Structure formats: structure tokens, C-alpha cells
Structure 1
Amino acid sequence: MQNCLRIFLLLGWKFYIKAMNLTIRKKGILPVQQLKQLVSYGVIRTDAAYPFEDEQFQPNSIDLRLGRVAYRVRCGFLPENETVEAKINKLCQHEFSIEEGGVLEPNCTYIIPLLEHLILPETTSQTYALTDGSGGEFALETESRISARTNPKSTTGRLDIFTRLVTDYSHRFEEIAPGYKGPLFLEVVPKSFPIRVQTGQKLNQLRLRHGNTRLSDEEVRAAHARTPILFGEGGEAIADADLKLGNGLFMSVDLQGGEDGLIGYRARKNRAVIDLSLIGYYDPFSFWEPIYAQREDFIILEPEAFYIFASKERCRIPDHLAGEMVPYDTGSGELRTHYAGFFDSGFGANPGGARAVLEVRSHDVPFLVEDGQTFFSMVFESNTALPETSYGSGVVSNYQGQNLKLSKHFKP
């Protein structure tokens, strides 16, 4: 009897180890439940003093958190042939702890190590040692190699905080190559206002991608026919034939506004510090100048001023897809249309969808923008599985169902 029990326990342990395997066959963006699995198995790791928090997980992404120290550097950089730390050692002007909070000044460049780091698989079949102290192993089996991409969070863009992720030996911002093993660093440049940051705060988010599944224009049109993605100003689904497609779904800017005529905001010159820990705290009119619709249906943007507008159309991201805003290239290079870009599954799930909020800066010269002008496009990717939670449903959101809206730090 004792021998049978020993064999049962041994077989049971082997079954437990086998249960630790994760096999991903479908290509696309990894949903929240698979991200949580990779966290529990040590593919995505964190500083031991700062365990992962439930609120970090979004339907298709995980929020990354600021680490313990900030480095003021002379300029931004790509490390390419060396580590980020080596570049910091060459360019650092001074460093300071942000564990109890620290102020970042406008138009100064800071590099902040993040609490999270990655151990992405080098191949399509890789075994990891479990991090729970059991001595067990976890096997990750995929059809394609897994890469990652980051983007600023919505709040980051609405506060005019320029951020981009940097990794060791990389020649590109925001992109993390398959097989990367190492720390993550965030370049942070406040543009309009000084900001107070603290360890653990979240300025950007990360997605893991299995292969490349960006939908073609024909696939976007077919997806819209099944479950409408784009809606008019009144909440009516736009006809399939009227979609503007060209390596993405084009959307435009609204300069007419609603009944109150409000179409946007322009950042004021204000040196008061915005503490990112204070929600619904600041008077918006101390920091922002409201902009109202003009008789001519156009506006001329001042060089280097920062504006917030909203899209004319409304969008809704089906649960089986994830979206990303990408700039519409006018060929002039004079206009940056947004900073933040990820749209999680379920965004705009209320009837009639939600507007996209646009963060806009004209460079060098005044720039004319007209009502209905094409401003950006949306690209879509499939998810490897339906997320167990979707945006605005099981996920607390400050911007679900939004119209024109400032960041969550300002009073309504």
C-alpha cells in the first residue's frame, strides 16, 4: 500500500509539472490570462520588493512600473552595441531616488529603470525553471517566436509626457526582440508641466506578440461587417463601403464639438508641479485653455504648443481583436498626432463606441487643421485567445465611453 501511494504521489507530481506547460498555437496578441501565466512562471519578472499587482493587467497588456531611481541624462539614445547602463554612465548628469517621490522638470531627459524585466524565449520550445522554489520546470511551446512592444499609457500622453522604452543592445525604441533577456528602461521627458513621480507608478504598458497578425484592409472590412468597429458622430455604424482603408483604418479630427462648442484644450505655460499620485485633484483651467469651434471650421496650431482634440468618429474594439493608433503620415513631418496608442479589447463597448483622444503638437511652423481632416489610422491584430476580461468590463477604466477628456488628475 505504501509503495502504491509513493507511485501515485510520484505520478501526481509528474502530472503537476506537465500542467505547468503553456502551448500557444494561434498567432496574435497574448491576452491577460496568458500574460498572468507567463508572470507566474517567471517569463515576466519584477523586483522582489515590489510584487505584481492585479491592477497592472489589462485585457491585452501589462502596465510597467517605475523603479527606484531616476537618471538625468544629457540626451536620449539608443544603446545598439552596449547596455543601457553603459550609456547612462557616459551621459548621466545626476541621479536621485524616487522611492519617496521626485520631480522631473520639463524638457529634461530622464532614464528610469523599471521594476519589471523580461526573459523572452529564444526558440519556439523553451523550458524555464519555476520561480516558486518547487524545483519544477515550465515548458513554453509556440508556433512562432514571441516578441514584445510597448506604448505610453493614455494618461501619459494626455499630460504631454514623452516616453519610450529602451533595452540593452537595441537599435529601436519600444520594440523588444524575441529572445531578449534583461532589464527594461524608460526614457521620460515631461514637455508641458513638471511632474512628480514615484516608484511603482505606471507610465507605459507592454504587449506580447506571437508572430505577426496585423489584419489586412480586407480583413478589417470583414470584421467590421460582422461586429461594427467604426461609428459616426451619432453612434450609427459606418457602412462597410464608406470605411477609409489603406494599411489601416483612417480616422479624422473633430473641430465642431457638441452643444457647448468645446473642441479641445491647449496646454498653458504653467510651472506648477503635477503629482501623478493625485487623482481628480487639479483645476483644469489652471493648466489648460479650452478651445471652442471656429466659424471657419479650421484651426491654426501654434508651433510647439500642445493640444488635445478628439476623433470625429467613434470606435469599438471587438473582444477578439486588439487595436493600435498609428500616425497618419502627411509627408511633411510637421505634425505629431498622438503619443499613446494601445486600444485593448472591449474599448468603446458601450453602444455607439467611444472617441479616440488625440495628443497633438505642430513642429517648427504654424499648421492648419480642418474639421474632418484625416489624422491617424487604427491597425488591428487578432488575440491568441479571447481575454478573460475586457476593457470597461471587469477592468476599471477612467476613459471607457469617453468623449473629449483630460487626464484623470484633473477635476471633471
Structure 2
Amino acid sequence: MSELAVPSEGILPTQWLRKAVSQGLISSDRTVPDSSFQPASLDLRLGERAYRLRCSFLPGPKTVAERLKEYEMGHVDLRDGAILERNRPYLIPLLERLDLPESLRAKANPRSSTGRVDVFTRVISDRGFTFDDVAPGYRGPLYLEVVSRSFTIRVETGISLNQLRLIHGTARFTDSEIAELHGQTPLLFKGGKPIPEKELVVSGGLFLSLDMRGDPEGTVGYQARKNSRLLDLSVEYAHDPADFWEPVNKEEGDRAVLEPEEFYLLLSQESVRIPPNYAAEMTAYDPTSGELRTHYAGFFDPGFGHSEHEPQVGS
């Protein structure tokens, strides 16, 4: 294992991720393709088997392979593609493994395309006590738990459902630092204009609200259809959205009633801009504010919603 001479604290950008791969901190028996490198994260690829689980688990003081013997209910071969059933947890060894120095830790999250189709994923590592967090100095394989909540899906070896960030030191901003950054270079916009600092809601991060105005037909979002067709995640632009989504229309008073345990795609009222030298993460909604998970996918790349031209309006 070699030490990566990272110059400063924070999340490693793509040029440092490439160095991490070239120095063996991230390795794979298959070449890591250029398409896996994102501005501040690396797409992780599915391995050759998916193990059916009777329940989710964390390995605790043991390795994942040791714990898997207690929870496995057979497996399916992913090399030629396989179907994963709804609401069934699967554990898939990933093609990438880590050999981190003590100065680096890792954080995983679903890709945005994965979260948008209600596929719940989280990484576990040997002797780990939390999901998606990989301890400094970790040496070993990575595994992905996959649960498709709304659709029956098809996956195959080599496709990516989640991504990994490498972190050196402290990367998280305090609320006061977020507010200060917004004052210097706006992060949130409404109606094409920066949100005034006095209207900014900051508490453990920035809060976003829903846009319930709707289009001319009154549509404010979409709900996942029940008993839809098979969703093949190994192909792109091959599905009709109408086969999987039905519109959600607002009620009088610009509001909508959401059914428990159903999955929706809704727009935020605010547009987001991440400056090129920063990154961000979307976190689950605070349960004290309501029983609602806002998003499975968490990473905003550097430069999301940013434009080289004025005015800035976000995305």
C-alpha cells in the first residue's frame, strides 16, 4: 500500500482518484474504465454473483463472507444478466476493492439514476458497523446491498449502481460556513434569483422545498406504477417512462396527498448551484420533520448547476 500525498483536506477530485487507482489504493481484476471516473467520485461496478438474503445485515466484528453464510438463500449469476425481484435484499460483491492508508476514508452513495428508480443500495465492508462508510486504512473487498422497492429489475456484471468518494480529513461545512459561502457565491436560487440570506433555511445543511405549482395540466410529479414491466438497468434510453410512472396532480391550494410507502418524483422549488471547487451531498429528511425520505442518491458533483456565464441560476 502506498500513501497518497493529498495536498489538502476534503473530497478527492477525479485526478486524485486516478492516482489512487494507479497506485493500487483502488484496484480491480478488470481494468477500471474511464467512464467510471466522475468529477469527485468513482462508479463502482457489480461483480459476478448476487446473493439472495433473508434479511439485511452488518458484519460487525466478522468479515462479510463469514456473515453471508448465516443469511444467504442461494445466488444468481450476473455474467449474462439476471432478474432481481422487488423488495428482496441481495448482496453483490463489487469488482473494486480498497487498500486505503490511514489518512483516507471512503463514503458511498447510490448513483442518481439508481435513486430515481427507487433502487435502494448501500455498501458494506469487512468488520464494518455502519453502511456506506468505509473506515480509514481499510483493506479488503466491498459489497453492495441492493433492494429494488418499486420495480422488478435486470442487472448484469459490470454495470454501476453506486459510487464512492475518497475523503481526506474534515470535509463537512458547518451551518455558519454554508451561510457564509452562499453569501459569497450563491448556492440556492428561486425564480432565477439567489435566495436572500435571511430567507435561507440552514440546520445541519440547506433545506429544499417542493414546487407544487405544477404544469398547465396541474401535474406536480410522478408516482411509480404498481405491477410495471421489467426495468432493465443494463440498457439506456430503451424504456417508455409511461410504462413505469403515472402523473401526480395537485389539489386546490397547490397541494398533493402522498400515500405512505409509495415512491414519487417531485421537483424542488429551489435551483441548486455547487461551485466548481466544492461538492455536496443530499441527505435523508430529518425524521423529526416528518416520516419522509427525500432521496436515495446523495452526491452533487463539483460544478453542478454552475455556469461559466452570468447570471447564475442553478439547476
TM range (shorter): over 0.9
| Aligned residue runs from structure 1 range 278-289, under 5 A | 278-289=235-246
For structure 1, which segment, 294-303 or 38-47, has the greater mean C-alpha deviation from structure 2 after superposition?
294-303
- Are 1:33 and 2:15 counterparts? yes
Distance across 2 between alignment mates of 1:119 and 1:108: 31
Instruction: Compute the displacement of 1:24 (Å).
Output: 1.9
Instruction: Compute the displacement of 1:256 (Å).
Output: 1.2
1:344-377 deviations in whole A, cap 9, x for unaligned?
A: 10111244111xxxxxxxxxxxxxxxxxxxxxxx
- SS of the residue 2:18 aligns to: helix
Please tell me whether the aligned partners of residues 249 and 256 of structure 2 are also in contact (alpha carbons under 8 angstroms).
Answer: no
| Aligned residue runs from structure 1 range 189-338, under 5 A | 189-232=147-190, 234-331=191-288, 334-338=291-295
1:316-350 deviations in whole A, cap 9, x for unaligned?
A: 10011100011231426622221111101011124
Which residue in the other structure is 1:135 paired with?
Answer: none
Which residue in the other structure is 1:396 paired with?
Answer: none
1:85-109 deviations in whole A, cap 9, x for unaligned?
A: 1111121111121011000000111
The alignment-based identity, stated in percent, is 49
Instruction: Compute the displacement of 1:115 (Å).
Output: 0.2
Letter in 1 for 2:261: E
1:266-310 deviations in whole A, cap 9, x for unaligned?
A: 111124211112222212112111112321222221121111111
Distance across 2 between alignment mates of 1:36 and 1:266: 39
Question: Segments of 4+ in structure 1 off by > 4 A?
Answer: none
- SS of the residue 1:72 aligns to: strand
- SS of the residue 2:261 aligns to: coil
TM-score of the superposed pair, with normalisation by structure 2: 0.94
Which residue in the other structure is 2:27 paired with?
Answer: 45
Instruction: Compute the displacement of 1:44 (Å).
Output: 0.4
Distance across 1 between alignment mates of 2:124 and 2:3: 30
Distance 1:293 1:300, change over 3 A: closer
Please tell me whether the aligned partners of residues 228 and 243 of structure 2 are also in contact (alpha carbons under 8 angstroms).
Answer: no
- Are 1:353 and 2:314 counterparts? yes
Instruction: Compute the displacement of 1:57 (Å).
Output: 0.7
Letter in 1 for 2:104: I
Distance across 2 between alignment mates of 1:292 and 1:210: 45
- Are 1:116 and 2:74 counterparts? no
TM-score of the superposed pair, with normalisation by structure 1: 0.73
- SS of the residue 2:183 aligns to: helix
Distance across 1 between alignment mates of 2:90 and 2:284: 25
Distance across 1 between alignment mates of 2:114 and 2:52: 19
RMSD between aligned residues: 1.5
Please tell me whether the aligned partners of residues 125 and 134 of structure 2 are also in contact (alpha carbons under 8 angstroms).
Answer: yes
For structure 1, which segment, 274-283 or 159-168, has the greater mean C-alpha deviation from structure 2 after superposition?
274-283
* Structure with greater strand percent: 1
Distance 1:259 1:227, change over 3 A: farther
Instruction: Compute the displacement of 1:172 (Å).
Output: 0.2
Distance across 2 between alignment mates of 1:282 and 1:216: 42
Distance across 1 between alignment mates of 2:54 and 2:72: 7
